[in-house]
Protein backbone atom coordinates (compact mmCIF):
# COMPACT_ATOMS: atom_id res chain seq x y z
CA UNK A 1 0.00 0.00 0.00
CA UNK A 2 2.96 2.24 0.63
CA UNK A 3 4.06 1.86 -2.97
CA UNK A 4 0.57 2.77 -4.17
CA UNK A 5 0.66 5.93 -2.07
CA UNK A 6 4.07 6.82 -3.44
CA UNK A 7 2.87 6.17 -6.98
CA UNK A 8 -0.22 8.33 -6.53
CA UNK A 9 1.82 11.18 -5.12
CA UNK A 10 4.22 11.11 -8.05
CA UNK A 11 1.36 10.91 -10.50
CA UNK A 12 0.05 14.27 -9.31
CA UNK A 13 3.03 15.89 -10.99
CA UNK A 14 2.04 14.56 -14.40
CA UNK A 15 0.57 17.24 -16.68
CA UNK A 16 -1.91 14.84 -18.26
CA UNK A 17 -3.92 14.55 -15.04
CA UNK A 18 -4.32 18.28 -14.73
CA UNK A 19 -1.90 19.05 -11.92
CA UNK A 20 -2.15 22.77 -11.26
CA UNK A 21 1.24 24.26 -11.99
CA UNK A 22 2.38 27.77 -12.85
CA UNK A 23 5.59 26.37 -14.28
CA UNK A 24 3.98 24.22 -16.94
CA UNK A 25 4.55 26.96 -19.52
CA UNK A 26 8.03 27.91 -18.37
CA UNK A 27 9.41 26.17 -21.42
CA UNK A 28 6.62 27.09 -23.79
CA UNK A 29 8.81 26.88 -26.87
CA UNK A 30 9.68 23.20 -26.43
CA UNK A 31 6.27 22.34 -25.02
CA UNK A 32 4.41 23.76 -27.99
CA UNK A 33 6.87 22.18 -30.41
CA UNK A 34 6.05 18.79 -28.89
CA UNK A 35 2.33 19.55 -29.00
CA UNK A 36 2.40 20.56 -32.65
CA UNK A 37 4.60 17.60 -33.56
CA UNK A 38 2.13 15.26 -31.89
CA UNK A 39 -0.90 16.51 -33.77
CA UNK A 40 0.50 17.76 -37.06
CA UNK A 41 3.40 15.40 -37.66
CA UNK A 42 6.99 16.52 -37.75
CA UNK A 43 7.25 20.29 -37.42
CA UNK A 44 10.40 22.25 -38.13
CA UNK A 45 11.98 25.16 -36.32
CA UNK A 46 12.93 27.88 -38.77
CA UNK A 47 13.75 31.55 -38.52
CA UNK A 48 12.78 32.17 -42.15
CA UNK A 49 9.74 30.47 -43.58
CA UNK A 50 10.09 29.07 -47.11
CA UNK A 51 7.29 29.75 -49.54
CA UNK A 52 4.20 27.66 -48.81
CA UNK A 53 4.99 27.22 -45.14
CA UNK A 54 2.64 28.70 -42.51
CA UNK A 55 3.77 29.66 -39.02
CA UNK A 56 1.76 27.99 -36.28
CA UNK A 57 3.11 30.09 -33.42
CA UNK A 58 5.98 29.32 -31.04
CA UNK A 59 8.10 29.12 -34.22
CA UNK A 60 6.50 25.81 -35.29
CA UNK A 61 5.70 25.51 -38.97
CA UNK A 62 3.65 23.32 -41.25
CA UNK A 63 3.77 22.87 -45.00
CA UNK A 64 0.52 24.24 -46.44
CA UNK A 65 1.06 22.61 -49.82
CA UNK A 66 1.44 19.17 -48.23
CA UNK A 67 -1.49 19.78 -45.90
CA UNK A 68 -4.07 21.52 -48.03
CA UNK A 69 -6.87 19.78 -46.12
CA UNK A 70 -5.73 21.54 -42.94
CA UNK A 71 -6.20 24.91 -44.56
CA UNK A 72 -9.67 24.06 -45.82
CA UNK A 73 -10.76 22.77 -42.41
CA UNK A 74 -9.21 25.22 -40.00
CA UNK A 75 -8.83 28.48 -41.93
CA UNK A 76 -11.41 31.13 -40.96
CA UNK A 77 -14.38 31.18 -43.34
CA UNK A 78 -15.54 34.73 -42.68
CA UNK A 79 -14.08 37.62 -44.67
CA UNK A 80 -11.64 39.48 -42.48
CA UNK A 81 -9.88 41.11 -45.38
CA UNK A 82 -6.16 40.36 -45.51
CA UNK A 83 -5.14 38.28 -42.48
CA UNK A 84 -1.64 38.55 -41.08
CA UNK A 85 0.32 35.36 -40.54
CA UNK A 86 0.24 35.95 -36.78
CA UNK A 87 -3.58 36.07 -36.75
CA UNK A 88 -3.80 32.83 -38.75
CA UNK A 89 -1.22 31.07 -36.60
CA UNK A 90 -2.95 32.15 -33.38
CA UNK A 91 -6.27 30.91 -34.72
CA UNK A 92 -4.86 27.49 -35.59
CA UNK A 93 -3.01 27.21 -32.31
CA UNK A 94 -5.62 28.22 -29.76
CA UNK A 95 -8.69 26.58 -31.30
CA UNK A 96 -6.82 23.30 -31.67
CA UNK A 97 -5.67 23.59 -28.07
CA UNK A 98 -9.22 23.87 -26.76
CA UNK A 99 -10.53 21.11 -29.04
CA UNK A 100 -7.78 18.70 -28.11
CA UNK A 101 -8.91 16.67 -25.09
CA UNK A 102 -5.36 15.68 -24.17
CA UNK A 103 -4.24 19.30 -23.73
CA UNK A 104 -7.44 21.17 -22.91
CA UNK A 105 -7.84 22.35 -19.32
CA UNK A 106 -10.85 24.59 -19.85
CA UNK A 107 -11.07 27.36 -17.30
CA UNK A 108 -8.05 25.94 -15.43
CA UNK A 109 -5.71 27.70 -17.87
CA UNK A 110 -4.17 30.44 -15.78
CA UNK A 111 -3.51 34.01 -16.92
CA UNK A 112 0.04 33.30 -18.10
CA UNK A 113 -1.04 30.25 -20.09
CA UNK A 114 -3.94 32.12 -21.66
CA UNK A 115 -1.62 34.92 -22.73
CA UNK A 116 1.05 32.65 -24.21
CA UNK A 117 -1.47 30.39 -25.96
CA UNK A 118 -3.68 33.29 -27.15
CA UNK A 119 -6.73 31.97 -25.29
CA UNK A 120 -7.90 35.30 -23.92
CA UNK A 121 -11.53 35.83 -24.85
CA UNK A 122 -12.04 32.20 -25.82
CA UNK A 123 -12.75 31.19 -22.22
CA UNK A 124 -14.79 32.79 -19.43
CA UNK A 125 -12.53 35.26 -17.63
CA UNK A 126 -12.61 33.55 -14.24
CA UNK A 127 -9.77 31.15 -13.48
CA UNK A 128 -11.18 27.96 -11.93
CA UNK A 129 -8.57 25.67 -10.33
CA UNK A 130 -8.62 22.02 -11.31
CA UNK A 131 -9.76 20.87 -7.87
CA UNK A 132 -12.79 23.16 -8.03
CA UNK A 133 -13.60 21.77 -11.47
CA UNK A 134 -13.37 18.26 -10.05
CA UNK A 135 -15.85 19.09 -7.30
CA UNK A 136 -18.30 20.62 -9.76
CA UNK A 137 -17.98 17.74 -12.23
CA UNK A 138 -18.36 15.13 -9.51
CA UNK A 139 -21.63 16.74 -8.43
CA UNK A 140 -22.88 16.71 -12.02
CA UNK A 141 -21.93 13.05 -12.39
CA UNK A 142 -23.76 12.12 -9.21
CA UNK A 143 -26.87 13.91 -10.46
CA UNK A 144 -27.22 11.52 -13.42
CA UNK A 145 -30.33 9.31 -13.08
CA UNK A 146 -28.69 5.92 -13.81
CA UNK A 147 -25.26 4.32 -13.65
CA UNK A 148 -25.27 4.05 -17.45
CA UNK A 149 -25.94 7.78 -17.68
CA UNK A 150 -22.97 8.33 -15.39
CA UNK A 151 -20.86 6.22 -17.74
CA UNK A 152 -21.96 8.33 -20.70
CA UNK A 153 -21.27 11.52 -18.75
CA UNK A 154 -17.72 10.41 -17.95
CA UNK A 155 -17.09 9.30 -21.54
CA UNK A 156 -18.17 12.72 -22.76
CA UNK A 157 -15.83 14.35 -20.26
CA UNK A 158 -12.98 12.11 -21.41
CA UNK A 159 -13.47 13.22 -25.01
CA UNK A 160 -13.25 16.92 -24.21
CA UNK A 161 -10.95 17.20 -21.17
CA UNK A 162 -8.69 14.24 -20.33
CA UNK A 163 -6.91 16.05 -17.51
CA UNK A 164 -10.12 16.75 -15.65
CA UNK A 165 -11.35 13.20 -16.30
CA UNK A 166 -8.29 11.56 -14.78
CA UNK A 167 -8.14 13.92 -11.83
CA UNK A 168 -11.79 13.10 -11.11
CA UNK A 169 -11.18 9.35 -11.41
CA UNK A 170 -7.99 9.37 -9.35
CA UNK A 171 -9.53 11.42 -6.56
CA UNK A 172 -12.68 9.24 -6.48
CA UNK A 173 -11.43 5.84 -7.62
CA UNK A 174 -13.75 3.74 -5.45
CA UNK A 175 -16.81 5.53 -6.80
CA UNK A 176 -15.68 5.85 -10.41
CA UNK A 177 -14.09 2.47 -11.12
CA UNK A 178 -17.38 0.48 -11.26
CA UNK A 179 -18.70 3.11 -13.67
CA UNK A 180 -15.83 3.28 -16.13
CA UNK A 181 -15.29 -0.50 -16.07
CA UNK A 182 -17.18 -3.47 -14.64
CA UNK A 183 -20.03 -3.84 -14.06
CA UNK A 184 -21.40 -0.86 -16.02
CA UNK A 185 -19.11 -1.37 -19.02
CA UNK A 186 -21.01 -4.56 -19.87
CA UNK A 187 -24.30 -2.74 -20.33
CA UNK A 188 -22.51 0.04 -22.19
CA UNK A 189 -21.03 -2.47 -24.66
CA UNK A 190 -24.44 -3.88 -25.52
CA UNK A 191 -25.48 -0.36 -26.60
CA UNK A 192 -22.13 0.79 -27.94
CA UNK A 193 -23.15 1.25 -31.56
CA UNK A 194 -26.20 3.37 -30.82
CA UNK A 195 -25.14 5.34 -27.77
CA UNK A 196 -21.43 5.92 -27.27
CA UNK A 197 -18.65 7.63 -29.23
CA UNK A 198 -16.30 5.67 -31.47
CA UNK A 199 -13.35 8.00 -31.91
CA UNK A 200 -11.07 6.56 -29.23
CA UNK A 201 -8.72 3.77 -30.25
CA UNK A 202 -8.59 1.84 -33.51
CA UNK A 203 -10.84 -0.63 -35.30
CA UNK A 204 -8.88 -3.02 -37.51
CA UNK A 205 -11.27 -5.02 -39.64
CA UNK A 206 -10.69 -8.22 -41.56
CA UNK A 207 -10.97 -6.40 -44.87
CA UNK A 208 -7.67 -4.70 -43.93
CA UNK A 209 -5.87 -8.06 -44.05
CA UNK A 210 -2.60 -7.55 -45.84
CA UNK A 211 -2.59 -3.83 -44.89
CA UNK A 212 -2.61 -3.90 -41.09
CA UNK A 213 0.75 -2.14 -40.75
CA UNK A 214 -0.47 0.56 -43.10
CA UNK A 215 -3.59 0.91 -40.94
CA UNK A 216 -1.57 1.19 -37.71
CA UNK A 217 0.47 3.96 -39.33
CA UNK A 218 -2.70 6.06 -39.33
CA UNK A 219 -2.43 6.32 -35.54
CA UNK A 220 -0.81 9.73 -34.94
CA UNK A 221 1.42 8.70 -32.04
CA UNK A 222 4.42 6.43 -32.56
CA UNK A 223 5.24 6.14 -28.85
CA UNK A 224 2.58 3.55 -27.96
CA UNK A 225 3.73 1.32 -25.10
CA UNK A 226 0.56 -0.56 -24.08
CA UNK A 227 -2.13 -2.01 -26.35
CA UNK A 228 -5.26 -3.73 -25.08
CA UNK A 229 -6.83 -5.68 -27.93
CA UNK A 230 -9.98 -7.76 -28.25
CA UNK A 231 -11.77 -9.53 -31.07
CA UNK A 232 -15.06 -9.08 -29.23
CA UNK A 233 -16.01 -12.76 -29.12
CA UNK A 234 -16.31 -13.24 -25.35
CA UNK A 235 -17.10 -9.90 -23.79
CA UNK A 236 -17.46 -10.47 -20.04
CA UNK A 237 -20.36 -12.94 -19.70
CA UNK A 238 -22.26 -11.43 -22.61
CA UNK A 239 -20.82 -13.50 -25.45
CA UNK A 240 -20.02 -12.34 -28.98
CA UNK A 241 -20.57 -8.57 -29.28
CA UNK A 242 -18.33 -7.93 -32.27
CA UNK A 243 -17.08 -4.35 -32.44
CA UNK A 244 -19.44 -3.39 -29.61
CA UNK A 245 -16.76 -4.90 -27.38
CA UNK A 246 -14.57 -1.83 -27.89
CA UNK A 247 -15.67 -0.56 -24.49
CA UNK A 248 -13.51 -3.24 -22.87
CA UNK A 249 -10.09 -2.14 -24.24
CA UNK A 250 -11.00 1.50 -23.65
CA UNK A 251 -12.14 0.85 -20.08
CA UNK A 252 -9.16 -1.34 -19.22
CA UNK A 253 -6.69 1.29 -20.40
CA UNK A 254 -8.48 3.96 -18.40
CA UNK A 255 -7.65 1.82 -15.37
CA UNK A 256 -4.03 1.58 -16.53
CA UNK A 257 -3.88 5.37 -16.44
CA UNK A 258 -6.20 6.21 -13.55
CA UNK A 259 -4.81 3.58 -11.18
CA UNK A 260 -1.50 2.44 -12.65
CA UNK A 261 -0.19 5.87 -13.62
CA UNK A 262 0.42 5.03 -17.29
CA UNK A 263 0.31 8.17 -19.43
CA UNK A 264 -2.77 7.78 -21.71
CA UNK A 265 -0.68 9.17 -24.54
CA UNK A 266 1.20 5.85 -24.49
CA UNK A 267 -1.88 3.62 -24.64
CA UNK A 268 -3.96 2.34 -27.55
CA UNK A 269 -7.24 0.37 -27.38
CA UNK A 270 -7.84 -1.82 -30.43
CA UNK A 271 -10.74 -3.96 -31.61
CA UNK A 272 -10.10 -6.58 -34.27
CA UNK A 273 -13.24 -6.94 -36.36
CA UNK A 274 -13.32 -10.48 -37.71
CA UNK A 275 -17.11 -10.69 -37.85
CA UNK A 276 -19.83 -11.46 -35.34
CA UNK A 277 -21.99 -14.55 -34.82
CA UNK A 278 -24.72 -12.89 -32.75
CA UNK A 279 -27.70 -12.16 -35.05
CA UNK A 280 -29.23 -9.59 -32.70
CA UNK A 281 -26.02 -7.56 -32.77
CA UNK A 282 -25.59 -7.68 -36.53
CA UNK A 283 -29.25 -6.90 -37.18
CA UNK A 284 -29.01 -3.73 -35.13
CA UNK A 285 -29.08 -0.87 -37.70
CA UNK A 286 -26.60 1.03 -35.53
CA UNK A 287 -24.03 -1.78 -35.36
CA UNK A 288 -20.73 -0.39 -36.64
CA UNK A 289 -18.88 -3.62 -37.45
CA UNK A 290 -18.63 -5.86 -40.51
CA UNK A 291 -21.87 -7.67 -41.33
CA UNK A 292 -20.43 -11.16 -41.73
CA UNK A 293 -19.96 -14.41 -39.84
CA UNK A 294 -16.89 -14.65 -37.66
CA UNK A 295 -13.73 -15.74 -39.46
CA UNK A 296 -12.29 -19.08 -38.35
CA UNK A 297 -9.34 -21.30 -39.18
CA UNK A 298 -6.22 -20.30 -41.10
CA UNK A 299 -7.66 -16.94 -42.16
CA UNK A 300 -8.12 -15.90 -38.53
CA UNK A 301 -4.65 -17.08 -37.52
CA UNK A 302 -3.03 -15.25 -40.43
CA UNK A 303 -4.88 -12.08 -39.48
CA UNK A 304 -3.74 -12.26 -35.84
CA UNK A 305 -0.19 -13.07 -36.88
CA UNK A 306 -0.10 -10.08 -39.23
CA UNK A 307 -1.47 -7.88 -36.44
CA UNK A 308 1.21 -8.92 -33.91
CA UNK A 309 4.01 -8.42 -36.42
CA UNK A 310 2.57 -5.07 -37.51
CA UNK A 311 2.44 -3.86 -33.90
CA UNK A 312 6.07 -4.83 -33.39
CA UNK A 313 7.09 -3.07 -36.59
CA UNK A 314 5.06 0.08 -35.90
CA UNK A 315 5.61 0.52 -32.15
CA UNK A 316 8.61 -1.68 -31.37
CA UNK A 317 9.23 -5.05 -29.77
CA UNK A 318 8.82 -3.52 -26.30
CA UNK A 319 5.19 -2.54 -26.89
CA UNK A 320 2.98 -4.61 -24.56
CA UNK A 321 0.03 -6.42 -26.16
CA UNK A 322 -2.69 -7.42 -23.71
CA UNK A 323 -5.13 -9.95 -25.18
CA UNK A 324 -8.54 -9.26 -23.70
CA UNK A 325 -11.82 -11.22 -23.89
CA UNK A 326 -10.87 -13.68 -26.61
CA UNK A 327 -12.98 -16.84 -26.71
CA UNK A 328 -11.71 -19.99 -24.99
CA UNK A 329 -10.82 -21.74 -28.24
CA UNK A 330 -8.46 -18.89 -29.17
CA UNK A 331 -7.28 -17.38 -25.90
CA UNK A 332 -4.99 -20.13 -24.62
CA UNK A 333 -3.51 -21.13 -27.96
CA UNK A 334 -2.75 -17.52 -28.96
CA UNK A 335 -1.01 -16.98 -25.64
CA UNK A 336 1.01 -20.16 -26.11
CA UNK A 337 1.92 -19.08 -29.64
CA UNK A 338 3.08 -15.55 -28.86
CA UNK A 339 4.23 -15.49 -25.24
CA UNK A 340 7.84 -16.11 -26.28
CA UNK A 341 7.64 -14.14 -29.52
CA UNK A 342 6.08 -10.89 -28.32
CA UNK A 343 5.74 -8.78 -25.20
CA UNK A 344 2.23 -9.98 -24.39
CA UNK A 345 -0.08 -11.55 -21.86
CA UNK A 346 -3.70 -12.65 -21.62
CA UNK A 347 -5.51 -10.86 -18.84
CA UNK A 348 -8.33 -13.41 -18.57
CA UNK A 349 -5.91 -16.32 -18.23
CA UNK A 350 -2.92 -14.80 -16.44
CA UNK A 351 -4.18 -11.58 -14.85
CA UNK A 352 -7.32 -13.10 -13.37
CA UNK A 353 -5.38 -16.16 -12.24
CA UNK A 354 -2.77 -14.08 -10.42
CA UNK A 355 -5.44 -12.13 -8.53
CA UNK A 356 -7.42 -15.30 -7.72
CA UNK A 357 -4.39 -17.16 -6.36
CA UNK A 358 -3.38 -14.11 -4.32
CA UNK A 359 -6.89 -14.08 -2.84
CA UNK A 360 -6.68 -17.77 -1.98
CA UNK A 361 -3.30 -17.37 -0.27
CA UNK A 362 -4.64 -14.40 1.70
CA UNK A 363 -7.73 -16.37 2.73
CA UNK A 364 -5.53 -19.11 4.21
CA UNK A 365 -4.60 -16.64 6.95
CA UNK A 366 -8.20 -16.27 8.13
CA UNK A 367 -8.83 -17.94 11.53
CA UNK A 368 -10.43 -21.40 11.42
CA UNK A 369 -9.36 -21.90 7.76
CA UNK A 370 -6.92 -24.71 7.04
CA UNK A 371 -3.65 -22.81 6.56
CA UNK A 372 -2.12 -25.01 3.85
CA UNK A 373 -3.30 -24.70 0.25
CA UNK A 374 -2.65 -28.39 -0.39
CA UNK A 375 -5.39 -29.25 2.14
CA UNK A 376 -8.09 -27.63 -0.01
CA UNK A 377 -10.04 -28.55 -3.13
CA UNK A 378 -11.18 -25.95 -5.63
CA UNK A 379 -14.46 -26.11 -7.57
CA UNK A 380 -14.93 -23.96 -10.67
CA UNK A 381 -18.34 -23.04 -11.98
CA UNK A 382 -17.59 -23.23 -15.70
CA UNK A 383 -14.44 -24.05 -17.62
CA UNK A 384 -13.78 -20.86 -19.55
CA UNK A 385 -10.37 -19.38 -20.22
CA UNK A 386 -10.37 -17.56 -16.87
CA UNK A 387 -11.29 -20.69 -14.88
CA UNK A 388 -8.71 -22.81 -16.68
CA UNK A 389 -6.09 -20.11 -16.14
CA UNK A 390 -6.79 -19.96 -12.41
CA UNK A 391 -6.65 -23.76 -12.11
CA UNK A 392 -3.36 -23.94 -14.00
CA UNK A 393 -1.77 -21.37 -11.69
CA UNK A 394 -3.03 -23.19 -8.58
CA UNK A 395 -1.58 -26.42 -9.94
CA UNK A 396 1.70 -24.67 -10.72
CA UNK A 397 1.87 -23.35 -7.15
CA UNK A 398 1.18 -26.80 -5.70
CA UNK A 399 3.84 -28.41 -7.85
CA UNK A 400 6.59 -25.82 -7.52
CA UNK A 401 6.05 -24.62 -3.95
CA UNK A 402 4.47 -27.64 -2.24
CA UNK A 403 6.28 -30.43 -4.04
CA UNK A 404 3.14 -32.20 -5.29
CA UNK A 405 3.12 -34.50 -8.29
CA UNK A 406 1.40 -32.96 -11.31
CA UNK A 407 -1.46 -35.48 -11.42
CA UNK A 408 -2.07 -35.11 -7.69
CA UNK A 409 -2.16 -31.32 -8.00
CA UNK A 410 -4.63 -31.46 -10.90
CA UNK A 411 -6.99 -33.57 -8.79
CA UNK A 412 -7.34 -30.59 -6.44
CA UNK A 413 -9.26 -28.70 -9.14
CA UNK A 414 -12.77 -29.64 -10.25
CA UNK A 415 -14.99 -28.07 -12.89
CA UNK A 416 -18.78 -27.93 -13.06
CA UNK A 417 -20.68 -27.18 -16.27
CA UNK A 418 -22.47 -23.83 -16.35
Contact 22, 51 (CB under 8 A): no
The β-bridge partners of 416 are 381
The β-bridge partners of 271 are 203, 230
> In this predicted model, which residue has the larger pLDDT, 53 or 315?
315
Catalytic residue among 40, 252, 300, 328: 252
> In this predicted model, which residue has the larger pLDDT, 254 or 89?
254
Sign of CA dihedral 64, 221, 108, 140: positive
Q: State yes or no: cis peptide before 32, omega within 30 of 0.
A: no
Helix residue ranges per DSSP H, 16-67: 28-40
92 pLDDT band (50/70/90 cuts)? low
Nearest to 318 by CA among 342, 347, 295: 342
pLDDT value for 102: 86
Over residues 325-336, the mean pLDDT reads 92
Contact 383, 373 (CB under 8 A): no
**Has residue 322 got a pLDDT over 60?**
yes
Cβ neighbours, 10 Å, residue 86: 11
Q: Cα Rg for the chain, rounded, in angstroms?
A: 25
Helices 173-180 + 147-158 axis angle, to 10: 90
Over residues 280-308, the mean pLDDT reads 96
Cβ neighbours, 10 Å, residue 293: 11
Over residues 65-94, the mean pLDDT reads 44
Q: How do residues 129-164 score in pLDDT, each as one tens digit? A: 999 999 999 999 999 999 999 999 999 999 999 999
DSSP letter string, 328-355 = HHHHHHHHHHHTTTSSEEEIIIIIHHHH
Report the range out of 30-39, 65-74, 103-112, 303-312 with the highest average pLDDT: 303-312
Spell out the residues 6+ positions from residue 342 whose beta carbon is closer than 8 angstroms to its own: 308, 311, 312, 317, 321
pLDDT value for 14: 52
To the query of whether residue 252 is one of the catalytic residues in this protein, the response is yes
pLDDT value for 382: 86
Catalytic residue among 40, 91, 181, 287: 181
pLDDT value for 379: 96
To the query of whether residue 313 is one of the catalytic residues in this protein, the response is no
pLDDT value for 89: 56
**Has residue 248 got a pLDDT over 90?**
yes
Nearest to 241 by CA among 273, 278, 204: 278
Helix residue ranges per DSSP H, 60-129: 68-74, 85-99, 111-116
Contact 264, 166 (CB under 8 A): yes
Task: Lowest mean pLDDT of 88-102, 308-322, 359-373, name the range.
Answer: 88-102
pLDDT value for 10: 37
Q: What are the helix and strand counts (H, E) for the chain?
A: 19, 10
**Has residue 26 got a pLDDT over 70?**
no
95 pLDDT band (50/70/90 cuts)? confident
pLDDT value for 391: 95
> Quick one: what percent of the chain has pLDDT higher than 70?
78
The CA distance from 25 to 117, in Å, is 9
The CA distance from 11 to 98, in Å, is 23
The CA distance from 249 to 235, in Å, is 10
Q: How do residues 211-230 score in pLDDT, each as one tens digit? A: 999 999 999 999 999 999 99
pLDDT value for 43: 36
pTM for the model stands at: 0.75
Burial of 377 (0-12, 13-18, 19+ CB in 10 A): exposed
**Has residue 414 got a pLDDT over 90?**
yes
Over residues 287-312, the mean pLDDT reads 97
**Has residue 44 got a pLDDT over 50?**
no
Over residues 341-360, the mean pLDDT reads 94
Task: Lowest mean pLDDT of 89-98, 227-236, 288-297, name the range.
Answer: 89-98
**Has residue 359 got a pLDDT over 70?**
yes
Over residues 310-327, the mean pLDDT reads 96
Mean of the per-residue pLDDT values of the chain? 82
Amino acid sequence: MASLTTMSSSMLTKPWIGAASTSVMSSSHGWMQGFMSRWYGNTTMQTKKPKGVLSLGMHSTIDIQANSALGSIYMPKRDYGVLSSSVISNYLQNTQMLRNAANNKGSAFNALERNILHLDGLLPPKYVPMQQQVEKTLALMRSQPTELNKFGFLQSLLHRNERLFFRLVMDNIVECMPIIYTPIIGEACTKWGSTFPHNRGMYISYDRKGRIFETLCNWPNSDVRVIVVTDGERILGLGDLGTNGMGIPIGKLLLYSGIGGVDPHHTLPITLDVGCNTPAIRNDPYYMGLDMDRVRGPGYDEFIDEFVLAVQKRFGMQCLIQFEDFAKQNAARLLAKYQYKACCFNDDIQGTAAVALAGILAALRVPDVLPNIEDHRFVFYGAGSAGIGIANLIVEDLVENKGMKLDEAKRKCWFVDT
